[in-house]
Amino acid sequence: MIYLQASYPCSQPGRLILKLCKHFRHKVPAEFSAERGEVDFQPGRCSMRAGAESLLILIEGEDEQAIGRMQYILLDHVRRMERRPDLELAWAAGAVPVAAG
């Protein structure tokens, strides 16, 4: 299993989790609250947690292709929900899963 983690600084991370998960649940299974979200994408799984002033995102997948697809999905949707087309997420490889921290 491959894990990547990113942190996106924002003033309302809980609101962003709700927006993302409500959108994703139209196509894939998603469970969420204002503090956390879990989404089962076909290529892998995404966990989101609301930090004090940031959204913490963990993606996990079986191989590089699955991870690459999930990176694209998450970046595209965070950009759209935040209306920031130039936004970039800095992914850290081998990060400790958000749920374990």
CATH number of residue 86's parent domain: 3.30.310.50
In the chain, the percentage of residues whose pLDDT exceeds 90 is: 83
- What size, in residues, is the chain? 101
Measured CA to CA in angstroms, residue 53 lies from 12, 43, 83 at distances of: 7, 29, 18
pLDDT at 35: 95
Q: Calculate ∠ Cα 10-11-13, nearest 5°.
A: 65
Nearest to 6 by CA among 60, 48, 58, 45: 58
Residue, of 36 and 43, whose pLDDT is higher? 36
Distance of CA 3 to the CA centre of its chain: 12
72's tokens = 């694209």
Alpha helices in 9-63 (DSSP H): 13-24
Range of the domain at 53: 2-94
Q: pLDDT class for 93, splitting at 50, 70, 90?
A: confident
50 belongs to a structural domain? yes
Total domains, the chain: 1
pTM: 0.86
60 belongs to a structural domain? yes
Q: How far apart are CA 66 and CA 84, in angstroms?
A: 25
